Structures are given as structure tokens and as C-alpha cells.
Amino acid sequence: MLNTPTELSGVTQVVTAGRPSLAAASCAPVNDVPFEHRLMSKAELAVYLGVTERTLELWMRQRKIPFIKLGRTVRFRVDSVQRYIEEKYTVPAAESRRRL
């Protein structure tokens, strides 16, 4: 069998005996995935939200933020996190009309 790496739309795949492997052929490049459907790492999400990774870990333990566990790694789907933030959004109360 002949294993030859080839380049297919930004993803390297291995061609075995003239046929591409299914796993490599089904992978889409990261650039083609819409931002809302991306899976972010803990570090990426911490930068995106402007919090520390430790804060994210606390929110995960408290089940305050949706996450996906893939083996030993943790990923966050951007659209799920944005939906969670929208649910938590509160409108500030109007100022008191009391005269001093």
C-alpha cells in the first residue's frame, strides 16, 4: 500500500492505494466553519469573554456555563455560550425618581 500525504482545501489527508481516507476527507478546514459553530478552547474563550481560565473552571464546576468534554479536553460551542450570555443579560434598573 502506498501512503501519500496530499493537500485538500487546507487539510492534509492520506491517500491509501489511490483512495483518500474517510476521516481526513470529512474534516472541514477551520476557516469554513461559521464563527457561531466553532468549538473554542478554555484559553480562547477566556480571552473572548475577558475573564481568566480559573474563572471559567469555576463556572464549569458550578455548571454556570455550557461546555463539551472531549476526552481530557474541554471545548465550548460559541453559539451556546452566546445564548447563555443573552439569558443572563439584565437591563439596569431606572434611576430613582426620589427628590433629595
Q: What is the pLDDT of residues 8-30, one digit of tens each?
A: 444 444 444 555 444 444 455 55
**H-helix or E-strand spanning residue 54:** helix 53-61
d(CA 91, CA 93): 6
Per-residue pLDDT tens over the stretch 54-82: 999 999 999 999 999 999 999 999 999 98
For residue 32, CA distances in Å to 9, 11, 58 come to 10, 11, 32
Contact in structure between 76 and 83 (CB atoms under 8 Å): no
For residue 63, CA distances in Å to 20, 47, 68, 92 come to 41, 20, 12, 25
Q: What is the pTM of this model?
A: 0.57
Q: Is the model more confident about 90 or about 64? A: 64
Has domain 33-90 been given CATH number 1.25.50.10? no
How is the chain split into domains, by residue range?
1-30, 33-90
